Structure 1
Amino acid sequence: MSKMRFLTGYPPELVERVERLLDNGELAPWLAKRYPERNDIQTDKALYDYVIEIKQRYLKNAPQPARVQYDNQLDLIGGTLGTNTFASRVQGSKLKRKNEIRIATLFRETPPEFLNMIVVHELAHLKEKDHNKSFYQMCCHMQPDYHQLEFDLRVWLTLREYS
């Protein structure tokens, strides 16, 4: 398995730069300087309130998530940092649709910008199921520096894995 598995698909010169910073012990200080704060949203209730606030600001017509919670079962090895599940159930003569957003527990440790990025990602799935152009446009509408934050999160995950 590659040392830079979270950075596959990025230009080789960028990956080599991150690897050099990691090998020279400069990656942790760089990230700490760039993202000095720690996320203070630690409970499922606080996470739910945070997600609903962002949803109301940007996606008023999207369905309301029935549950939002941290999930320590999400598999970082498989690359899953958050999930958005939809379930349809028959209740009497009506079809009820309910969705849940689960965020990997490791986001309790991340800077708030990374939590915001994953929340924006999962909220965008309320409107767009696939990772297509309109999905990423929606992410960038809610979080203008979405792509930079996604890259920096991948760098943070790399550092976390090799520290």
Structure 2
Amino acid sequence: MTTLKYLSGYAPSLQQQVQALIDQDRLGAWLEQRYPPQPQHLIQSDAALYEYTQRLKQEHMRSSGPISKVYFDTRMHVIDNALGQHQFVSRVQGSKLKAKNEIKVSAMLKTLPEPLLRMVVVHELAHLREKDHNKAFYQLCWHMEPDYHQLELDLRLFLTLRD
């Protein structure tokens, strides 16, 4: 039995189901059934990702602080199960302190289905209001993306398949 490192927080029964799909070499087919092959989504550049993120923010989080930068990071790999990162950057400019919110997303998400990219962007946007992964954080994620938890699981299954 292989170690399902991306699914370690899930119920043993779910892990057993995934392991059975892996053992039968059917995980890829199962994911393909959920996400039929389609042309790559159009969010392939940093500018497109910024626009996509701003639309989601405008739709669900108008009162949150502005986002100064959103970009794909080609060096970002799955570290601590993260495919996105929210940074609150403070810089001194003269006698003033400038604070900016930046979001970076793994470039790997360019090749995955758009709903999985959306899930990561929603996750990082939620960090504008909630810094910790607490109940309020996940409620905000669910508010922006009702299928958030299923998409998070599916993304973890794609990562498991990739490994």
By the TM > 0.5 criterion, same fold? Answer: yes
Q: How many residues align?
A: 160
Deviation of 1:13 (Å): 1.1
Q: Which residue of 1 aligns with 2:56?
A: 54
The amino acid that maps onto 2:45 is T
Identify unmatched segments of 5+ residues in structure 1: none
Tell me the distance in 2 between the aligned counterparts of 1:32 and 1:25.
13
Counterparts of residues 32-43 of structure 1 (less than 5 Å): 32-36=32-36, 37=38, 38-43=40-45
- Secondary structure of the 2:29 match is helix
1:113 maps to a residue whose letter is P
Shift of 1:77: 4.2
User: RMSD of the TM alignment (CA)?
Assistant: 1.3
Q: Mean alpha-carbon deviation: is it higher for 117-126 or for 76-85? A: 76-85
Between the aligned partners of 1:5 and 1:21, the Cα distance in structure 2 is: 16
Q: Distance in 1 between matches of 2:152 and 2:31?
A: 13
Structure 2 gaps, min length 5 = none
**2: CA distance between counterparts of 1:62 and 1:96?**
16
Is 1:39–1:115's contact at 8 Å kept on the other side of the alignment? no
Residue 69 (structure 1) shift:
0.5
Q: Percent of aligned positions with the same letter in both sequences?
A: 49
Question: Which runs of at least 4 in structure 1 moved beyond 4 Å after TM superposition?
Answer: none
Q: Does 1:72 align with 2:74?
A: yes
- TM-score of the superposition, structure 2-length normalised? 0.93
The one of 99, 109, 112 aligned to 1:110: 112
Aligned AA (1:49): E
Determine if the alignment matches structure 1 residue 122 to structure 2 residue 119.
no
